[in-house]
Amino acid sequence: MKSWILTYHSLDVSGSVISVDPAVFRQHMSWLAQTGTQVVPLERIFESPGAVALTFDDGFRNFYELAFPVLQQYRFPATVFVVTGYCAGKNDWPSQPALPHVPTLPLMNWSELQNLAAAGIDLGSHTINHSRMATLSDADTERELRASQEAIEDRTGKPVMSFAYPYGESTPQIREAVRKRFRVACGTKLAYVSPESDPAELPRLDTFYLQEKLWFEALGKQYGAAYIAARSALRELRSSWNKRH
């Protein structure tokens, strides 16, 4: 039985590609609870076939305000991937694509992140600057990994064992550097987790594509897998076209 890692970014009503409506998020969590779906920490995803891990990229403040209380209600674990150089700032890093309707929003500060860590939310690294890692030198790659990991550990007193690649970009060399520091790392490939998945580049299911109740509740079914496969193929085609033009 395949497991899933769900990706969320911002909980807001803008309808952007990084956004999920807070009401939809609450419906997702309610459905997981009502169906008895096992929600596990990210590092345990291989141990629990059929389980779900919840991940949140970038560290938006609306996680603290809107997602965290719901997770506490259901006692669900989760991982937040933090862009350490932008804590208490906004998602206005230089590499941010000029996509239509993507909002610029506040990110959590260190006090809020410390509260999350104390409450059992795992904090993972999302680099210092949300850089496109494939463009970095080996030295800059190592700095982005090491300094972001150390910043979180120094502030929270807890080990940081997970990582998410900004924009899902990696190379074999980058993945090797990541393996040396982290137990698991997440990419953006749209797929389920299987026993053959690489712990240094785990696939995830982007909830932007799962806001319709029909598709979210189909994830454990055959037609849900077909939907994900179709979405993944379309995404790959779009990415390939963009690289050529």
Q: What is the pLDDT of residues 1-40, one digit of tens each?
A: 789 999 999 999 999 999 999 999 999 999 999 999 999 9
pLDDT tens-digit series, residues 165-192: 999 999 999 999 999 999 999 999 999 9
CA distances from 80 to 173, 191, 227, 242 (A): 25, 20, 26, 29
Tell whether 222 is covered by a domain: no
Distance CA 65, CA 234 (A): 34
Q: How many domains does the chain have?
A: 1
Range of the domain at 136: 4-212
Distance CA 150, CA 38 (A): 31
Tell whether 194 is covered by a domain: yes
Sequence-distant contacts of 231-240: CB under 8 A, at least 24 apart:
231/190, 232/189, 232/190, 232/191, 235/190
CA angle 86, 191, 75 (to 5 degrees): 60
Output the domain CATH number for residue 191: 3.20.20.370
